[in-house]
A and B are shown apart, each in its own frame.
Chain A
Amino acid sequence: MAWNSLFVLNALADGPKLTRQLATCLGKSREATRLCLERLQRKGLVTSAEGAHQITDKGRQALARGREITSGPGDGTAASRRGPTLRQRAWRAMGMRDGFGLDDLLTMLCDGSEKDAERNLSRYLEALEAAGYLLVLPRRGEDGEKRWRLRRDRITGAEAPAYNTRTRRVTDCNTGEVFAI
């Protein structure tokens, strides 16, 4: 994949091209070229309009640095989906309970081996609330802690929505919907 990406960027460096022109240039099928272009578009390295593809400034910078373009986490711009993460387990636990607070989830899910679990889940819950997944309950917990309910109409699937703290975006991995927080 990395070689394809660099070759595509190189091929676009001297001007916009159509998919078929790029495919001929690279000696690859149109389908393989299209998939590679999609990945580059998602990373903001290529823009496409009416079948023609053009390298972006970011793409030129990547090319100038000559580094490998991988399918990895995109320099902090992608949401992690490795499971079963604490957030994945929390998503499942939220669906089981009628109402819950941060402490309920920590007590139910964490055994002390998780790194900074309280901060991690606290951020996640706030993000899910902002994205409209969680309803804030009027009654607070014993220590005055905030409590939520997972809106049943927002349980879109088994995959937990991913929250990227850096870009402040929640991505629903079941529907592909993205929410800017």
Chain B
Amino acid sequence: MRKQFVKTENYSRFTAGIAAVEQRGAAEAGMMLVHGAPGFGKSHIVGHWAAEVGAVFLRANVDWTPKYCLVELAKAMRVDPSGSAQQLFSRLLERVVETQTPIVIDEAEFTLHQNAAALEKIRDLSDRAEVTVVLIGMERIQQTIARHRQLSSRIAQVVEFVPSSVADVAQACKQLSDVAMAPALVAEVHRLSGGRMREVLNIIASIERLAQLNGLGSVDVADLEGVPLTHDWQSRTQKTVRAAAGGR
């Protein structure tokens, strides 16, 4: 299996959101919220963008305080982290203004403790340095942030990550798999994975192994009918390929 980044519909919506935030006027809000259930590729896609543009990527911790958050940011930006929170903020502000480095905060729920004190610091930095800040969180983060008016008014774009579409899965199969897959099997990969790209990759790897074992250059549903390709952890059952979804 080829190891490559797949540009899904979530990726397209994310980059469109980023473009909108970056083209904003100076006085406008510069924060973006990315949210969705686990496994939909939030950190992966935002990480890809961050590596492209050289953004600072931080993962919030459960015990983040405003000072802890600033120290982490200072270390990532190679700013002296010593001194009071006020001194640290001033040094960081100078560096961020100078470099205009976008900031990404993964697991952003952890910035919302203590009346969102840590996120308020980031918001202040974003406002004053006019840099883009991307927050990554789970499904319910948007409602939690909405309770803090000062913060929610700064969020210029919200991108919800949704399950991958059949077209996304077809693109992944075409781009990554060394064996050709019939459209019916691609639809089965989509059903079995629940649109979770991580699961799609595991299933493609399994199909490739089976194709290799059986000497198949291309694979359809009929070749794999009844074969378990993934596992449902909630019902503790294996998920198998169903012929009803298609076939030769």
Q: Does B213 belong to the interface (CB within 8 Å)?
A: no
Q: Does B115 belong to the interface (CB within 8 Å)?
A: no
CB of A96 within 8 A of CB of B50, answer yes
Q: Does A118 belong to the interface (CB within 8 Å)?
A: yes
| 1/0 contact string of A66-99 vs chain B (CB within 8 Å) | 0000000000000000001000011011011100
The one of A92, A103, A111, A155 in contact with B50, judged by C-beta atoms closer than 8 angstroms, is A92
Pick out which of these stretches binds chain A: B1-9, B25-33, B179-187, B232-240: B1-9
Q: Does A15 belong to the interface (CB within 8 Å)?
A: no
Assuming the contacts A95-B57, A96-B57, A157-B78, asked whether A110 and B51 have C-beta atoms less than 8 A apart, the reply is no
Q: Is the interface of A mostly helix, strand, loop or mixed?
A: helix
Interface residues of A in 88-128 (CB under 8 A from B): 89-90, 92-93, 95-97, 102-103, 106-112, 118
Interface residues of B in 68-93 (CB under 8 A from A): 75-76, 78
Assuming the contacts A103-B3, A118-B3, A157-B78, asked whether A109 and B51 have C-beta atoms less than 8 A apart, the reply is yes
Assuming the contacts A95-B57, A112-B175, A157-B78, asked whether A106 and B4 have C-beta atoms less than 8 A apart, the reply is yes
The one of B4, B7, B54 in contact with A107, judged by C-beta atoms closer than 8 angstroms, is B4
Q: Is the interface of B mostly helix, strand, loop or mixed?
A: helix
Q: Which residues of A contact B4 (CB under 8 A)?
A: 106-107, 110-112
What residue in chain A is nearest B54 (Cβ atoms)? Answer: A92
Q: Does B48 belong to the interface (CB within 8 Å)?
A: yes
CB of B47 within 8 A of CB of A93, answer yes
Assuming the contacts A110-B4, A112-B4, A112-B175, asked whether A89 and B52 have C-beta atoms less than 8 A apart, the reply is yes
CB of B3 within 8 A of CB of A84, answer no
Cα distance, A155 to B201, chains bound together (Å): 31
CB of A109 within 8 A of CB of B48, answer yes
Least CB distance from A3 to B in Å reads 37
Q: Which residues of B contact A107 (CB under 8 A)?
A: 3-5, 44, 201
For the complex, count residues of A whose C-beta is within 8 A of B. Answer: 22
Assuming the contacts A93-B47, A157-B78, asked whether A84 and B54 have C-beta atoms less than 8 A apart, the reply is yes
Least CB distance from A98 to B in Å reads 8
What residue in chain B is nearest A118 (Cβ atoms)? Answer: B3
CB of B52 within 8 A of CB of A106, answer no
Q: Which residues of A contact B5 (CB under 8 A)?
A: 107-111
Q: Which residues of A contact B52 (CB under 8 A)?
A: 84, 89
| 1/0 contact string of B168-183 vs chain A (CB within 8 Å) | 0000000100000000
The one of B3, B51, B57, B175 in contact with A89, judged by C-beta atoms closer than 8 angstroms, is B51
Q: List 24 A-B contacts (CB under 8 A).
A: A84-B52, A89-B51, A89-B52, A92-B50, A92-B51, A92-B54, A95-B57, A97-B47, A102-B3, A103-B3, A106-B4, A107-B5, A107-B201, A108-B5, A108-B44, A108-B47, A109-B48, A110-B3, A110-B4, A110-B5, A111-B7, A112-B2, A112-B175, A158-B54
Q: A95-B76, A107-B4, A152-B75 are in contact. List 19 more A-B contacts (CB 8 A).
A: A89-B51, A89-B52, A92-B51, A92-B54, A92-B57, A93-B47, A93-B51, A95-B57, A96-B50, A96-B57, A102-B3, A107-B3, A107-B201, A108-B48, A109-B48, A110-B3, A112-B2, A118-B3, A157-B78
